[in-house]
């Protein structure tokens, strides 16, 4: 019985390390980002970027996504809210193409079925790529894209990864964390210092960018 317990414990540890604990998003971002363009890049899925789906955005896609950044933000806080809507719109546009449209909130770290799901490493890599596209296009006036960060090393909490924005001037880092919610839902944006303390949202709220939602409702009504 003890041998079975120990074996299960080892397997469990290895599985977790393969998910949010053992494949830092920053490493994958560094490996691929220079080769990515808006027209051709990959979306991570199935935990720890186990699978990467080749996708691309056309002019119409890009216009839909970047419309969330207009009009130009008037403050860092305003820009962070626009970034939330923009990241959610990236996910809405790319969900079906990348096979992650049904990605659930807080994808279970231990799961027998990861198909179409994304763990925190997948989310952190993808969000960092999307933020970098915005930065390259000159759409971030008050922030720069930072290196993905991790919290938790088992002894001090459950491992978790996130994308990062750094505010100009103050140099305060903010997380852009899409893992807490399903595909196409507004990500959480809070100070990194707070997030590192183990912060998580109290409610699994379901908002998506309002103009996207209204467009979908209008399309259904016209059918």
32-38, long-range: CB < 8 A, 24+ apart: 32/129, 33/128, 33/129, 33/132, 36/129, 36/132, 38/62, 38/133, 38/137
What band does 111 get if pLDDT is binned at 50, 70 and 90? low
Q: Which has the higher per-residue pLDDT, 101 or 78? A: 78
Radius of gyration of the chain (CA): 18
pLDDT value of residue 16:
45
Average pLDDT over the chain, rounded to whole?
82
**Who wins on pLDDT, 215 or 82?**
82
Beta strands in 46-172 (DSSP E): 51-55, 143-151, 160-167
Higher confidence at residue 66 or residue 107? 66
Largest CA distance in the chain: 64
Instruction: Compare 157 and 15 and report the one with higher pLDDT.
Output: 157
Read off the pLDDT band of 104 (50, 70, 90). Answer: confident
pTM of the predicted model as reported, rounded to 2 decimal places: 0.81
Q: pLDDT tens digits for 113-140?
A: 677 788 999 999 999 999 999 999 999 9
């Amino acid at each position: 019985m003890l041998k079975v317990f120990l074996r299960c414990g080892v397997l469990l540890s290895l599985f977790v390390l393969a998910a949010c604990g053992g494949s830092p998003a920053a490493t994958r971002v560094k490996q691929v980002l220079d080769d990515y363009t808006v027209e051709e890049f990959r979306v991570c899925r199935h935990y720890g970027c186990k699978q990467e789906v080749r996708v691309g955005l056309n002019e119409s896609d890009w216009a839909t996504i970047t419309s969330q950044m207009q009009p130009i933000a008037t403050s860092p806080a305003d820009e962070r809210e626009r970034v939330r809507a923009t990241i959610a719109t990236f996910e809405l546009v790319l969900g079906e193409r990348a096979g992650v449209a049904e990605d659930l909130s807080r994808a279970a770290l231990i799961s027998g079925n990861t198909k179409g799901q994304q763990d925190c490493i997948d989310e952190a890599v993808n969000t960092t790529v999307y933020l970098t596209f915005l930065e390259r296009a000159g759409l971030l006036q008050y922030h720069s894209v930072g290196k993905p960060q991790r919290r938790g090393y088992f002894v001090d909490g459950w491992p978790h990864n996130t994308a990062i924005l750094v505010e100009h001037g103050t140099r305060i880092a903010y997380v852009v964390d899409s893992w807490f919610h399903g595909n196409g839902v507004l990500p959480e944006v809070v100070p990194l210092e707070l997030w590192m303390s183990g912060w998580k949202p109290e409610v699994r709220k379901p908002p998506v960018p309002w103009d996207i939602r209204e467009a979908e409702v209008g399309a259904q009504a016209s059918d």
